[in-house]
C-alpha cells in the first residue's frame, strides 16, 4: 500500500511539474485572438494593433480570427470552448458578457464560469451618427422628428444585444418614440447603408466616424460617454441632451475558464503592456481610447459589477429576456 501511495505522489508531482514547466515556456506557438465581429470597427482595429506588440515581446505570431454572428454568441462560444492553454483568447465589448445574459435566455455560455477575464484594454467614448441626408442635426431634433413621424427613422444595428441595439431600446423607452431597428451583418454594411440613405442613424466609435464626418458623409448627433470628446468638443454628451443610461464601453480580453495562473499572468502582462505602448499613442488618440491594462482580478470584479448594472438598467426600462432571434 505504501508503494502505491508513493507512486501516486510521484505521478501527481510529475504532472504538476509538467504543467508548471509548460506554463513557464508559454508562449511557444502562435496566439489566436477571436474577434466576435466581422472585419472593420474598433474591436478589430485594437486586436490588429496589439498583436504586433505582443509578437515583438514574445517572438510568437498573433493571429486575428473573425467569428461574427448571433450577437457575438458564435465568437464567444468558440472562445469558451477553446483549450485553456492561453493560445486562444478573445477581445470583445460589453455586449457579450454584460448584456447578452440579461437579454437572452439561451446564450449558451455562462459569463461567470466559462471565461477567464484577462484585462480591460481600454475605455472609449462613442457617438450617435446620422446619414448626411436626414433633416435633423442633434439628438433633440432627432427625438422631435421621431415624434412627428413615428417609425420613419431607421436605426442600423448589427444584431440584438449589440450596443447600437441597446441604445435604440433605451431611446425608444426614455423618449417615448417609435424608431425602426434595421439589423445588418456587421459595422461595414451599416456604414454603407448610412452613406446611401437606406439607414438613418447608428451608434459607432469616434475612430470609425471621424473620417466620414470630415468628408461630409455622416452627421454627428451626440457624444455617448462621460465627457465630451477631444476630437469634437463642440458636440454635447447624451447626458447634456437629456439623459444617459451610463453604460460603459470597454474592450476586454478574455480566455477560456481555468487558465493556469502563470499563463494568465503572462497574458495579462503582454496585453496590458501592448495597449499602453508608446508606439500606439497615435492609434489610441485616433480611436479615442483611454488605455487601462488592469490586473485580471480587478477586471473580473469590474465585469461582474458592469453586468449587474446592465441588468438593473434593462429591468428599469422594461426589457425582458427572450429567446435569441438567431
Over residues 150-169, the pLDDT tens digits come to: 999 999 998 776 789 889 98
Q: By percentage, how much of the chain surpasses pLDDT 90? A: 66
Q: Are both 77 and 213 inside the same structural domain?
A: no
Domain that holds residue 207: 131-224
Q: Are both 163 and 204 inside the same structural domain?
A: yes
Does the residue 269 lie in any domain? yes
**How far, in Å, CA of 178 to CA of 157, rounded?**
16
**Mean pLDDT of all residues in 234-241:** 92
Burial of 318 (0-12, 13-18, 19+ CB in 10 A): exposed
Q: What is the CATH number of the domain that holds 114?
A: 3.40.190.150
Q: Strand 88-92 and strand 250-256: pairing?
A: antiparallel
Q: What is the CATH number of the domain that holds 183?
A: 3.40.190.10
Does the residue 1 lie in any domain? no
Residue 15 has pLDDT above 80, yes or no: no
- Smallest Cα–Cα separation from 164: which of 224, 210, 104? 224
| The C-alpha cell that represents 151 in the structure block | 417609425
In this prediction, residue 19 carries a pLDDT of: 47
Q: Are both 75 and 219 inside the same structural domain?
A: no
Does the residue 230 lie in any domain? no
**How far, in Å, CA of 44 to CA of 98, rounded?**
19
Crossing angle of helices 261-275 and 42-58, in 10° steps, is 110
Q: Indicate the range of 103-107, 123-127, 188-192, 260-264 predicted with least confidence.
A: 103-107
Q: Are both 33 and 92 inside the same structural domain?
A: yes
Indicate the Cα dihedral angle 265, 68, 108, 85, nearest 10°: -30
In this prediction, residue 36 carries a pLDDT of: 95
Q: Are both 148 and 287 inside the same structural domain?
A: no
For the stretch 166-169, contacts whose Cβ atoms lie closer than 8 Å and that sit 24 or more positions apart, written own/partner, are 166/95, 166/99, 166/245, 166/247, 167/128, 167/203, 167/224, 167/245, 167/247, 168/203, 169/317, 169/319
Q: Are both 220 and 197 inside the same structural domain?
A: yes
Query: If DSSP codes are grouped into helix, strand and coil, which group holds residue 117?
Result: strand
Does the residue 89 lie in any domain? yes
**How far, in Å, CA of 95 to CA of 76, rounded?**
11
- pLDDT (tens digit per residue) in 37-84: 989 888 999 999 999 999 999 999 999 999 998 889 999 999 999 999
On whether the CB atoms of residues 302 and 252 are closer than 8 A, the answer is no
Strand ranges inside 93-226, DSSP E: 115-124, 126-131, 154-157, 180-183, 201-205, 218-224
Query: If DSSP codes are grouped into helix, strand and coil, which group holds residue 291?
Result: strand
Q: Are both 161 and 212 inside the same structural domain?
A: yes
Does the residue 79 lie in any domain? yes
CA-CA distances (angstroms) from residue 53 to 28, 64, 132, 279?
A: 16, 13, 38, 9
Q: Are both 203 and 149 inside the same structural domain?
A: yes
* Domain termination residue (choose one: 163, 191, 224): 224
- pLDDT (tens digit per residue) in 118-147: 999 999 888 999 999 999 999 999 999 999
Does the residue 23 lie in any domain? no
Q: Are both 137 and 219 inside the same structural domain?
A: yes
Structurally, the chain folds into a number of domains equal to: 2
What is the pLDDT confidence band of residue 148, given thresholds at 50, 70 and 90? very high
Mean pLDDT of the chain: 90
Does the residue 5 lie in any domain? no
- Smallest Cα–Cα separation from 165: which of 12, 7, 314? 314
Q: Are both 135 and 218 inside the same structural domain?
A: yes
Burial of 208 (0-12, 13-18, 19+ CB in 10 A): buried
Q: Are both 77 and 210 inside the same structural domain?
A: no
Does the residue 244 lie in any domain? no
Q: Are both 162 and 207 inside the same structural domain?
A: yes
In this prediction, residue 23 carries a pLDDT of: 54
Residue 110 has pLDDT above 60, yes or no: yes
* Domain termination residue (choose one: 224, 257, 280): 224
In this prediction, residue 182 carries a pLDDT of: 96
In this prediction, residue 166 carries a pLDDT of: 85
Strand ranges inside the chain, DSSP E: 31-35, 62-66, 88-92, 115-124, 126-131, 154-157, 180-183, 201-205, 218-224, 250-256, 289-291
* Domain termination residue (choose one: 191, 224, 257): 224
Amino acid at each position: 500500500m505504501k508503494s502505491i501511495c508513493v507512486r501516486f505522489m510521484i505521478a501527481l508531482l510529475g504532472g504538476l511539474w509538467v504543467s508548471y514547466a509548460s506554463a513557464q515556456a508559454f508562449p511557444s506557438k502562435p496566439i489566436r485572438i477571436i474577434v466576435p465581429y466581422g472585419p472593420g470597427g474598433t474591436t478589430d482595429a485594437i486586436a490588429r494593433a496589439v498583436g504586433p506588440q505582443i509578437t515583438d515581446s514574445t517572438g510568437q505570431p498573433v493571429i486575428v480570427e473573425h467569428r461574427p454572428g448571433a450577437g457575438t454568441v458564435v465568437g464567444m462560444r468558440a472562445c469558451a470552448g477553446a483549450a485553456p492553454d492561453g493560445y486562444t483568447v478573445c477581445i470583445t465589448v460589453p455586449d457579450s458578457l454584460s448584456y447578452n445574459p440579461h437579454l437572452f435566455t439561451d446564450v449558451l455560455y455562462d459569463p461567470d464560469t466559462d471565461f477567464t477575464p484577462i484585462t480591460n484594454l481600454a475605455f472609449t467614448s462613442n457617438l450617435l451618427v446620422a446619414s448626411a441626408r436626414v433633416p435633423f442635426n442633434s439628438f433633440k431634433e432627432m427625438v422631435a422628428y421621431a415624434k412627428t413621424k413615428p417609425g420613419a427613422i431607421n436605426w442600423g444595428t448589427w444584431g440584438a444585444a449589440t450596443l447600437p441595439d441597446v441604445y435604440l431600446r433605451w431611446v425608444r423607452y426614455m423618449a417615448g418614440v417609435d424608431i425602426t431597428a434595421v439589423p445588418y451583418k456587421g459595422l461595414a454594411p451599416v456604414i454603407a447603408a448610412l452613406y446611401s440613405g437606406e439607414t438613418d442613424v447608428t451608434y459607432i466609435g469616434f475612430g470609425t466616424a471621424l473620417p466620414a464626418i470630415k468628408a461630409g458623409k455622416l452627421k454627428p448627433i451626440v457624444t455617448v460617454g462621460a465627457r465630451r470628446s477631444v476630437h469634437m468638443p463642440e458636440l454635447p454628451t447624451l447626458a447634456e441632451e437629456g439623459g444617459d443610461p451610463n453604460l460603459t464601453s470597454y474592450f476586454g480580453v478574455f480566455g477560456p475558464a481555468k487558465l493556469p495562473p502563470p499563463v494568465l499572468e503572462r497574458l495579462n502582462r503582454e496585453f496590458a503592456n501592448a495597449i499602453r505602448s508608446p508606439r500606439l499613442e497615435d492609434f489610441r488618440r485616433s480611436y479615442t481610447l483611454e488605455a487601462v491594462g488592469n490586473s485580471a482580478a480587478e477586471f473580473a470584479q469590474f465585469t461582474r459589477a458592469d453586468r449587474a448594472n446592465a441588468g438593473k438598467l434593462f429591468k428599469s426600462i422594461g426589457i425582458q429576456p427572450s429567446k435569441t432571434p438567431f
